[in-house]
Structure 1
Amino acid sequence: MRIYLKIIAACISISALMTACDKKDEITSEEGVIYMTQAIDARSSIDLLIADTAQSFTFGGAYGGQLYPQQDIQLSFKLDTGLIAAYNASHSTSYEKLPVDKYTISNLETIIRSGRTTSDGIKVSVDTKTLPKDAEYLMPITLQTASTGKINEELKTAYFKIKISRKETDLTSMATLTVSKDNNDGPNGGEGSAKLVDNNLTTKFLTGGFPIVLWMQLKFPEAVSIQSYKLTSGNDAPERDPKDWKFFGSNDGNTWVELDSKTNQSFSGRTQTVQYEFENDTPYSYYRWQVEKNNGSDAFQITEWRVITFK
């Protein structure tokens, strides 16, 4: 009964990263073994968002066996970036060292307190604001010493694999679409302009009359800041693809600010989505994508146009 209650208590009190309930049999079979739960691969992958405020994660040590420690256990850790090259070589990866000015570690010492099976957490704070999207870093943390107990040599180092992601919110559905020239069957026709923003890659917008300057416009009920847009090529006829274009913002639908421009663009495949990014912190009520050239056809097509904010 005592062991059963202990397991329940541990499950309730320990976070997902530091739970003792998922201990493997080979870890818990020896009483007093000290290890890092994050040394298990599935627990060392960290996704951090690009944000104005620091993003964080925690690590610590754990006590193995069926009993609780009867006294506090002092633990010390080491950030060992010298292990990165060897890890990359043995795993065929290319992780980089996280720049030293982009993170802080609250401490490298902690305690497994008497009557508990996991230590107090050590916090790592990462300044992600200026880190590149999709960058991948490796932060090896090694459990160096324990005041009592035996350190498990196979589970003493956690290789934290940190991936930098960005929060992206698709705002397209909030806006009303208009175009300067629609399909002959109208916006709701089989290849009408409504297909441009239906979030369906099996439909497309097709219109004729090229060469012309064709624009597609989104009007939002309230001004929003957009920093990116996505275009998906048509299912056939690459000569109909957009080649040169400009992207504008406006707050009155008359005066336009150029936010982005592209020339000599091409898609490498059919129904291929390409994302374009630009700097913009100004909210606008209108956004216009103006296509000035395609790849030579007398028709224009695009499968999807989406607008994205990183806020």
Structure 2
Amino acid sequence: MNTPRRLLLAVSALSMLASPLVHAQAWPQQKPIRIIVTFSPGGSSDIVARLLQPGLQEKLGQTVIVENKPGAGSTIGANEVARAAPDGYTLLLSNTAPMSISPFMMDKAPYDPVKGFTHIAYIGSVPNVFVVHPSVPAKTMPELVKWINAQARPVNYGSGGVGSIGHIVGEMFKQQYQLKMEHVPYKGSSPMHNDLLGGSLQFAVDTLTQNVPFMKEGKLVGIAVTSRARAPMSPTVPTVGEAGYPKLVAENFLGISGPAGTPADVVDKVNKAVTDVVARPDVARRLSDLGVESEPMSAAQFTRFVTDQVNEWAPAVKASGARLN
């Protein structure tokens, strides 16, 4: 074989060997990054994803697209991410519903909430709130229980959807206190509020974030928040513990996860970008206004956090009897 031919083959072989390294180093330059939100527009997950979007674009130097993929208790969007290529271009706005709740409402979950993902960055947690239409003669949890028990028919309670944390907390409330209640699932908080504000739905368990504006205007009444401490964005509303219902403590976490096997360098870049954006004074202030309590976590810490959440919620979800058909 002549020398030019040998040289050409050698260069070609080196190029093939180097291509994975070049590909890895190029992230995220090849194409836009998608962040899948498992709820409809207008919910807390969607609001937070869009709040972080501009800063993440700036930090990562690539377009970031937020896509809403609701349905099946948040498992449709989560499963899309779990099955995606682990290349850093498809990420999940992970939260309590698809990680800690919905998989345990199914005979066979489509993914493992811990092993099926690479959990990358923690954003924060937000409580839910027991909220009623002003026509309901209840301002406290004991009064709410008394009102429910006084009704001739089961009281409908709304949530952002089957498998949402509001759904499970409502079922826990129903079972623990033997109340006559029926769950009415909605495809997100926005459509639920149409009925709740109109009075055709009188009671809901929902993320605090999107209810505070209505509570401030007197259009809805916040009965109790499900956090351990009062929420800074609604300090006059007592906690479920203060109200005498400590077993109802529950917070919805928000984070960024990717498919299992996402490269370590991508994980590091995304974790740093999320941490930096969340720490910006304007973003931190907006998150606080939304009721999101945040703290920095490494990817390893966030993975342990999700694992703990799964271990804590799985028995409660199974005990609630709530199912995803």
TM-score under structure 2 length normalisation? 0.24
Larger helix percent: 2
Please tell me whether Structure 1 or Structure 2 has the larger radius of gyration of its CA atoms.
1
Q: Per residue, is there more strand in 1 or in 2?
A: 1
